[in-house]
Amino acid sequence: MKKYVYSFKEGKVHMKDLLGGKGANLAEMTNIGLPVPQGFTITTEACNEYYEKNRQLWPALIDEIQTQLKTLEDLTGKTFGGGENPLLVSVRSGAKFSMPGMMDTILNLGLNDVTVKTMEKVTNNRRFALDSYRRFVQMFSDVVMEIPKSRFERILDEIKEHKGAKFDTDLTADDLQEVVDQFKALYKEVLGEDFPQDSKAQLLLAVTAVFRSWNNERAILYRQLNNISASLGTAVNIQSMVFGNMGDDCGTGVAFTRDPATGEGKMLGEFLMNAQGEDVVAGIRTPLTIDKLMEINKEVYDQFMEASTLLENHYRDMQDIEFTIEKGKLFMLQTRNGKRTAAAALRIAVELVEQGLITKDEAILRVEPAQLDQLLHPTFDATALKNAKAIAQGLPASPGAASGKVYFTAEEAVHAARVNGEKVILVRLETSPEDLEGMVEAQGILTARGGRTSHAAVVARGMGKCCVAGCETLKVKEEEKKFYIGDKTYNEGDFISLDGSTGNVYEGVIETKTPELSGHFGILMAWADEVRKLKVRTNADTPKDAEQAVKFGAEGIGLCRTEHMFFEEDRIAAMREMIVAEEVEARKLALEKLLPYQKADFIGIFEAMGARPVTIRLLDPPLHEFLPHSDEDIADLAKTMGITFEKLKASVESLHEFNPMLGHRGCRLAVTYPEIAEMQTRAIIEAAIEVKKNKGMDVHPEIMIPLVGDVRELEYLEKVCRTLADNIIKESGTVLEYMFGTMIEVPRGAVTADEIAKTAEFFSFGTNDLTQMTYGFSRDDAGKFIKDYLEKGVFEQDPFVTLDQVGVGKLVKMAAELGRSTRPEIKLGICGEHGGDPASIEFCHKVGLNYVSCSPFRVPIARLAAAQATLKEKLGGGYSQK
């Protein structure tokens, strides 16, 4: 029979799939002899079965829970839901991958009207017992029964006001009794029944609530953002309670064994005495740093430091630890590999290798490639910063720099960013999971409360987003849409700037600059470069982008789009003349005007890239993109061009398409107007010859035909381009090697790649368009329904973000195999946006592409992801980073 419940002693660290990260680590800590409040874990499989069984617990599971509860009673000498020494437990979710703040937790379960009295006797602390009870009633009502938390908070606030209490701690036991009574009355009012007194029933309801919370909106959103499969399920941890809020010899805290912002090898911990865990994380009171614990209780401090070191060495990674001190005794509540900034991840990985704790390969695998993005974010320009006025300082919670308009709610921030396209700084008293979307859209986050382990800080770091937290001089009035610093008022829409690395807050907008990369970055990237098999190229259309990419390690250009060049003001006129031309000759005249511009562009790019290969895609977009569409603009342009409104309007109308995505573009343009392809070929080849002659650079241009679905399209254009190119080279008297190839971005191109490879010397997978056509999704229109798909669980990921390996990937694989079957030495790459997505890069490695190409700022990410792909393959299919 399947086992659904494991005590901490039964569990093992490798059982993460089954017990979740938290459960497995609690088991592991138990196994290595650390002081862990005992308990048991209900498996993720139970969660999945719960959903399969129409969201019902079932008798066999309930029996197992009760058996484990009995064992726990025996172990602790306490009785659950009654007796002389009541056993109280916490109920927490614990998925395989940590999902901070996403899942609901219930503390103090086991309290009822009877046990609260017993607790009062046992602890000799009526206030504590009632305080625990009122917390439990609220949490249970909120999390399990879904009565809005705010209604309980309102009652508490009213009583505090009535009693003249400033803090919760100012309330007396009698006051708290009144809170409990009113809480229970509210419960009855809303649900029409008394607050349940049977602790076992409460426990089962709580377990159900955790399972249910696996599919709450925040959890779904988090999984989407982090590409976590919905099929994993969550485990439930039931752990006997220890109390950090039983008096001044009690406390609770969290600590990172190294600095999660910088990676410095020095513990970063925070704690609060006489508090429960949530008080630290929620940022309601600003906590003390861990070294203060030495002064308060040296013995516990030493014990904690020893346990921390033990844990870090055991897990061979930086740990994020939760602990509680109950009446002077230390308990380890949780440990996990700590979240960290990219800079910290790099430093920690490199230093762990230096300390001999891990290998280079392990170090490479330790850094999440996507996270490197943070390092590449701009910082404030030093000169601009000198003139900037710092108006406040908070905690440097997540590095980076950002400027934007102030908004006070997630909703307004989202609206301002998405609808108005504004850069937004989200300013909140403190953040909560409901703010997640707003944080996604914001440039930076500023909170008045909470430490560097607060929700805002943890989430912002995960996103690589700049965050200043716990900025206490800020008086935030969310409902007034204002914040005050001293007597100065800041309104919604005012510009401020945040430095997440110093914690400084500035007025106005400050200019930013590209960051310097640390030595640890260089070391790790060098290790990665040694390992990876995939080359990394960049998508760059200008010499500036090309230079930037080379700095980041790009080994070539995988996609140089030529159409962007035509939008520049001095060129668009000639481009439009070309489009409006009715005869080949007029078109050729206009193209001749464009030729010197194109050639100059390519000279710049070739000089930036030197001997590195440069793939240049011929004109791709439909011609109507270059023309105005409103009558007014058409009239203006007609005037400028010296033609009649009617003529230009007729041109615009004749170019109108119902589905431009599937229209007259790509190689189809070149088949209709071969003179365009000729002009571009001439520009490429002449530029290459010039750079070769003048600079002595061994230039390697690669002419790429877009949107080929049929080898006959390519054959037709090969004749056009090669004939011209070969003639130019011959006439120049130089030797120039160039390649002729194609994008594979039309499904038919993939399916008939064996045919296409007869003519194409290389394929570059354009997975943006390939995804559009393979799914039949217009990227411009799919936003609406993909949202529905994600919400309804039809999709787990947006296929435009991460390559759909099952469908689109199958075509890529097929095309790679077919292409090689015809031309074994064919060069294969990817230049869609997926080329910078780590999961997609791993796929590209697996199907044996030669290179990926991505935007300059994603080049380092691709280098690392490519190295990880090689290592994961070596380790076999089982390896998983998360």
Q: CB 525 → its own copies: shortest distance, Å?
A: 36
Could you say whether residue 578 binds its own copies (CB under 8 A)? Answer: no
Q: Answer yes or no: are the C-beta atoms of 441 and 460 closer than 8 Å.
A: no
Q: If binding is defined by CB under 8 A, does position 305 make contact with its own copies? A: no
* Bridge partners (DSSP) listed for residue 796: none
Are 680 and 704 in contact, with CB atoms under 8 Å apart?
no
| Selected binder of its own copies within 33, 192, 486, 776 (CB under 8 A) | 776
Q: Which of 471, 831, 844, 854 is catalytic?
A: 831
User: Which residue's CB is nearer to its own copies, number 681 or number 855?
Assistant: 681
Nearest distance from C-beta of residue 786 to its own copies, angstroms? 9
Q: C-alpha angle 824/850/360, rounded to 5°?
A: 135
Helix axes 631-641, 645-655, angle to 10 degrees: 120
Alpha carbons 810 and 826: distance in angstroms, whole number: 19
Of 250, 377, 455, 834, which residue is the catalytic one? 455
φ and ψ of 447, to 5 deg: -125, 150
Residue 662 lies near its own copies (rule: CB under 8 A): yes
Looking at beta carbons only, is 110 or 621 nearer to its own copies? Answer: 621
User: Residue 471 catalytic?
Assistant: no
Q: Look at the alpha carbons of 316, 458, 43, 8 in this order and tell me if their dihedral is positive or negative.
A: positive
Q: Choose between 427 and 652: whose C-beta lies nearer to its own copies.
A: 652
- Write the single-letter amino acid at 547: E
Under the criterion CB under 8 A, does residue 420 sit at the interface with its own copies?
no
The residue from 82, 196, 628, 663 that contacts its own copies (CB under 8 A) is 663
In the bound state with its own copies, the residue whose beta carbon lies nearer, of 363 and 717, is 717
Q: Which of 154, 298, 693, 712 binds its own copies (CB under 8 A)?
A: 712
H or E stretch at 832:
none
Asked whether 552 and 836 are in contact (CB, 8 A), the reply is no
**Residue 231 or residue 420: which is nearer to its own copies going by CB?**
231
**Euclidean distance between CA atoms 422 and 499, whole angstroms:** 19
Q: Which is nearer to its own copies, 653 or 781 (CB)?
A: 781
Least Cβ distance, residue 659 to its own copies (angstroms): 4
Name the residue among 701, 724, 717, 815 with its Cα closest to residue 759: 717
Tokens representing 48 are 């999945």
To its own copies, the closest distance from the beta carbon of 704 in angstroms equals 16
Q: Which is nearer to its own copies, 484 or 789 (CB)?
A: 789
DSSP codes, 701-769: EEEEE-S--SHHHHHHHHHHHHHHHHHHHHHHT-----EEEEEE-SHHHHHTHHHHTTT-SEEEE-HHH
Q: Which of 200, 292, 513, 748 binds its own copies (CB under 8 A)?
A: 748
Q: Which of 38, 66, 734, 778 binds its own copies (CB under 8 A)?
A: 778
Q: How far is the CB of 204 from its own copies (least distance, A)?
A: 28
Give CA–CA dist 466/395, Å, rounded.
Answer: 11
Q: Out of 716, 740, 843, 851, which residue is the one contacting its own copies (CB under 8 A)?
A: 716
Lookup result for tokens 């080379």: 550
Determine the 3-state secondary structure of 65 from DSSP.
helix
The verdict on 54 binding its own copies (CB under 8 A) reads no
- Binding-residue pattern over the window 665 to 704 for its own copies, x denoting contact by CB under 8 A: ---x--xx--------------------------------
* Residue 140 binds its own copies, judged by CB under 8 A: no
Alpha-carbon gap, residue 713 to 742, rounded angstroms: 10
Instruction: Give whichever of 320 and 755 is closer to its own copies, judged by the CB atom.
Output: 755
The H or E element spanning position 219 is helix 217-226
Closest CA to 370 of 510, 226, 257, 248: 226
3-state secondary structure of 49: helix
Stretch that binds its own copies, among 163-171, 462-470, 770-778, 860-868 (CB under 8 A): 770-778
**Which range touches its own copies (CB under 8 A), out of 42-50, 183-191, 324-332, 741-749?**
741-749
Instruction: Give me 611's structure tokens.
Output: 């001997």
Q: Does 583 participate in binding its own copies (rule CB under 8 A)? A: no
Q: Report the residue number, 565 or 743, with the smaller CB distance to its own copies.
A: 743
- Residue ranges of the alpha helices (H) in 228-317? 277-281, 291-296, 298-315
Nearest distance from residue 782's CB to its own copies, in Å? 8
720 sits near its own copies (criterion: CB under 8 A): no
From candidates 58, 567, 785, 879, binder to its own copies by CB under 8 A: 785
Candidates 632, 792, 824, 877; binder of its own copies (CB under 8 A) is: 792
What is the β-pairing status of strands 700-705 and 739-744?
A: parallel
* Segment near its own copies (CB under 8 A); pick from 22-30, 38-46, 173-181, 750-758: 750-758
Give me the least distance between CB of 663 and its own copies, in Å please: 4
CA angle 630, 635, 639 (to 5 degrees): 150
Query: What DSSP state is assigned to residue 144?
Result: I
Identify residues 475-504 at the interface with its own copies (CB under 8 A): none
Distance of CA 847 to the CA centre of its chain: 25
145 C-beta neighbours (distance < 10 Å), count: 15
Angstrom CA distances, 166 to 154, 170, 171, 447, 563, stand at 14, 6, 9, 21, 65
Q: Choose the stretch contacting its own copies; rule: CB under 8 A; options: 240-248, 300-308, 606-614, 776-784.
A: 776-784
Phi/psi-derived region of residue 236, left when phi > 0, alpha when psi is between -120 and 50, beta in every other case: beta
- As measured in angstroms, the least distance from the Cβ of 707 to its own copies is 6
Nearer to its own copies, 184 or 810 (CB): 810
**Cβ closest to its own copies, residue 568 vs residue 657:** 657
Joined together, the tokens standing for residue 762 give 């290389």
Q: Which is nearer to its own copies, 223 or 258 (CB)?
A: 223
Residues in the chain: 882
Beta carbon of residue 475, minimum distance to its own copies (angstroms, whole number): 40
Q: Decide: residue 585, CB within 10 A, 0-12 exposed, 13-18 middle, 19+ buried.
A: exposed
CB of 828 to its own copies, least distance (A): 19
Closest distance of CB 811 from its own copies, Å: 6
Q: How far apart are CA 843 and CA 764, in angstroms?
A: 15
- Is 794 a binding residue for its own copies by CB under 8 A? The answer is yes
Q: Tell whether residue 472 is a contact of its own copies (CB under 8 A).
A: no
Interface with its own copies in residues 795-854 (CB under 8 A): 795, 804, 806-808, 810-811
Question: How many binding residues for its own copies (CB under 8 A)?
Answer: 48
Out of 643, 751, 801, 871, the residue judged to bind its own copies by CB under 8 A: 751
387-412 burial code (b ≥16 CB/10 A, e <16) = ebeebbbbbbbbbbbbbbbbbbbbeb
Q: Which of 167, 386, 486, 658 binds its own copies (CB under 8 A)?
A: 658
Q: What are the residues facing 42 on neighbouring strands? A: 5, 236
Give yes or no for residue 51 binding its own copies (CB under 8 A): no
Shortest gap between Cβ of 246 and its own copies (angstroms)?
51
Query: Which residues, 6 or more positions from 557, have their beta carbon under 8 angstroms from its beta carbon?
Result: 537, 538, 539, 540, 546, 549, 605, 609, 612, 613, 614, 615, 616, 853
Our answer to whether residue 455 is catalytic in this structure is yes
Q: What is the CA radius of gyration of the chain?
A: 32
Shortest Cβ distance from residue 747 to its own copies (Å)?
4
In the bound state with its own copies, the residue whose beta carbon lies nearer, of 260 and 709, is 709
Task: In whole angstroms, give the CA distance from residue 8 to residue 168.
Answer: 34
Question: Applying CB under 8 A, which residues contact its own copies?
Answer: 657-664, 668, 671-672, 707, 709-710, 712-713, 716, 745-748, 751-752, 755, 769, 772-778, 780-782, 784-785, 788-789, 792, 794-795, 804, 806-808, 810-811
Residues annotated as catalytic (active site), given as ranges: 455, 831
